[in-house]
Amino acid sequence: MGQLFSNTSKDEDSGDFESSFTKYFENIQTENKIISQETIHLIELHLKRGNIQGAQSVIRDALKNIDNTPINIAVTGESGAGKSSFINALRGVGQEEEGAAEVGVVETTKWRTPYKHPKIKTLTLWDLPGIGTVNFPPKDYLEKVKLQEYDFFIIVSATCFTKLELDLAKAIRFMKKNYYFVRTKVDIDLNNEKESKPRTFDREKILQQIRSYYVNSFHQNNMEAPEIFLISNSHLSDYDFPALMDTLIKDLPAEKRHNFMLFLPNITEAAIDRKRKTMQQTIWLEAFKALLLLNTPVMEYSLRNNMNNLKASLNHYRYLFGVDDASLKAIAKDSQVPVEQLKEIIKSPYLLRNRGVLFKDVEKLALSKNEFLATGFFFGKIFYFQLLFLDTVTEDAKVLLRETYLRN
């Protein structure tokens, strides 16, 4: 495989490292970067000074921080607004599945209750009791729900805007926390209007009326209106749910974006692509970190002797993107499509079966003009495999979305 920058001095190597690092992150929008701009500048500074060990150390700490930083999301609002259903939808958990937030026609949340995401262990959704309930009167609410512990609040409403919700929004803003206002059950409102006024039914006009009602409620109470997101817990890909996720990602600190983006349900191809892009950044950073440690010629990497590691990487991507065996069974059950039929339309489970062909595919990938790979560095065959696995799993997730979710 040859020597990396074999004809350059150490200073020239550092300059090449810096140039490639800078170029890569210049091509990523700020709201999608999983490390902060300050961290990027620090790494560039180390590289400019030839401090390879310092740059490697910063990248290692950044990756560790990304993996371990907790994300706490509070979901609150009026009783019966659909808080628990919203949490279950976000977690991809059915209402009757084990570990689901309890859903009912009356207030079912009596105490603040944490719900871990089934795949992203650092992410917790907190189901908070409605303000003004028996155990949580307004005067004690903020103290009892421990306001300061959450990254942001999602206030859920399904009917008229109440004074209690307004007071809660004021308190959250006073504590310098972000909050987002979500109006659920808009699909029910639309269906009711369509049934009662079939000739004059205007979907967009009704949605705008709902939105305007909440905006005006804030203005009438001398408050700047937050962005209002209209959603259906039963149909997340419709209405404003994708826009809500985009806003949350943009507002989160960089080190929390990676796990939050992985948490997004596979409801649109854009959401799946977003997962792919954040995973690409971690693969690239791991590769760059490893490359910085190479002070000797790169040794031939024996891929054929490391199939267990490759298999673990592939299974990890399949798990995160919901195309692993357990996820396929769940999708088959929900969509009433035989699981064997789903397995026939995806490729990732079979990637490692014909290893000889796969090795040739990787050689072609290494020689390609793929923009992600064209950084001036030879990252090692193992990272080409990871990218190939990631791309294949991404496409599998899209195929399953088209065949099941979008068809229903």
pLDDT digits 0-9 by tens, 5-61: 334 444 555 556 778 788 888 888 888 899 999 999 999 999 888 888 899 899 999
- 383 within some domain: yes
205 with 144, same domain: the answer is yes
The helix (H) or strand (E) run that includes residue 114 is strand 113-116
Do 216 and 172 share a structural domain? yes
- How many separate helices (H) and strands (E) can be counted in the chain? 16, 6
Q: What is the pLDDT of residues 166-183, one digit of tens each?
A: 888 888 888 888 899 999
Position 398 scores a pLDDT of 96
Instruction: For residue 241, tell me if it sits in a domain.
Output: no
pLDDT class of 81 with cuts at 50, 70, 90: confident
Same domain assignment for residues 82 and 184: yes
pLDDT 10s digits, 380-399: 566 778 888 999 999 999 99
Residue that is last in its domain, among 211, 234, 257: 234
Both 168 and 119 in one domain: the answer is: yes
Number of domains in the chain: 2
- Do residues 274 and 264 lie in contact, with contact meaning Cβ atoms separated by under 8 Å? yes
Q: Is residue 242 part of a domain?
A: no
Amino acid at position 140, single letter? D
Report if residue 47 sits inside a domain: no
Domain shared by 277 and 337, yes or no: yes
Do residues 74 and 177 both lie within one domain?
Answer: yes
Let me know whether 33 and 81 are in one domain.
no
Count of other CB atoms within 10 angstroms of residue 351: 20
For residues 114 and 220, membership in a common domain is answered with yes
Dihedral over Cα of 341, 347, 352, 353: its sign:
positive
CATH number at 178 reads 3.40.50.300
Mean pLDDT along residues 193-219: 91
Are the beta carbons of 147 and 177 closer than 8 angstroms?
Answer: yes
Domain assignment of residue 64, yes or no: no
Q: Show which of 180, 210, 234 is a domain's final residue.
A: 234
Inside any domain, residue 391 = yes
Q: In the prediction, which pLDDT does 243 show?
A: 92
Q: Lowest-confidence range among 90-104, 241-255, 319-333?
A: 90-104
Residue 57 lies in a domain: no
Looking at the domain assignment, is residue 187 inside a domain? yes
What pLDDT was estimated at residue 317? 95
pLDDT for residue 176: 84
Q: Based on the domain organization, do 143 and 214 belong to the same domain?
A: yes
Pairing of strands 178-183, 113-116: unpaired
Last residue of a domain, one of 234, 253, 279: 234
The domain containing residue 359 runs over which residues?
A: 10-37+266-405
| 97 and 230 co-located in one domain | yes
With bands split at pLDDT 50, 70 and 90, how would you rate the model's confidence at 403?
Answer: confident
Q: Give pLDDT tens digits for 322-373.
A: 999 999 998 888 888 899 999 999 999 988 876 655 656 555 554 554 444 4
**Cα 192 from Cα 407, distance rounded (Å):** 24
> Are residues 75 and 25 part of one domain?
no
**Residue 96 CB contacts under 8 Å (≥ 6 apart), including other chains:** none
CB 382 within 8 A of CB 337: no
| Shared-domain flag, residues 196 and 280 | no
